[in-house]
Amino acid sequence: MNYTDGTPAAGIPVTISIDGHEYTVITDENGHYQFDDLKDLSAGESYHIEAALDGFIAEADVTAEDISGAGGDNPTVDLPLQLLNTKLADLNKDGKINIADFTLLTNAYGTATGQSGFDERADINKDGKVNIADLAMLGSYWKI
Ligand SMILES: [Ca+2]
Ligand SMILES: [Ca+2]
């Protein structure tokens, strides 16, 4: 799949840091990634995961509960983790995600294609309407 701006979801490096070492996996065609062979975590510990490409966020806090087979030979994180494309949240394409993008969306909120006030830049999921779905997407990207 591609993101709505045309960026392919596949092939994006994502790294996990464990005890000072970094391990990298590459996203599949759905923008998902997973890490295998992780060592056990104690309660309250978590792994730090981040996307190694500008414009993307790997959205994950991996805690002890996310690791299956803990205590065995092959503890695995098998939840499919989704990568976020932060460039989609830069609605006015000025390289920043800030209040200006939020304002652009709220100004067009509730409109559909052809209506006055509609701004296709605010229609993040490209379904022809600016509504709660777009606002939710903007909110999910707005974590930097
Ligand atoms: Ca912007
Ligand atoms: Ca929309």
Distance of CA 130 to the CA centre of its chain: 20
Q: Which domains does the chain have, with CATH numbers?
A: 13-86 (no CATH), 90-141 (1.10.1330.10)
pTM of the predicted structure, to 2 decimals: 0.68
Residues around ion ligand 1, judged by CB within 5 A, are: 90, 92, 94, 96, 101
The CA distance from 69 to 71, in Å, is 6
CA of 13 to the centre of ligand 1 (A): 24
- In three-state secondary structure terms, 92 is coil
Measured between alpha carbons, how far is 118 from 128 in angstroms, rounded to an integer? 9
Distance 126 CA to ligand 2 centre (A): 5
Q: Are strands 67-68 and 56-58 parallel, antiparallel or unpaired?
A: unpaired
Dist CA 120 CA 47 (whole Å): 38
Q: What is the pLDDT along the chain (144 residues), one digit of tens a residue?
A: 888 788 888 999 999 887 788 889 999 998 888 887 777 777 778 888 888 888 888 877 777 777 777 667 766 666 667 788 888 889 998 888 889 999 999 999 999 999 999 999 999 989 999 999 999 888 877 654
53 alpha carbon – ligand 1 mean position (Å)? 18
What is the reported pLDDT for 144? 40
pLDDT score, position 48: 84
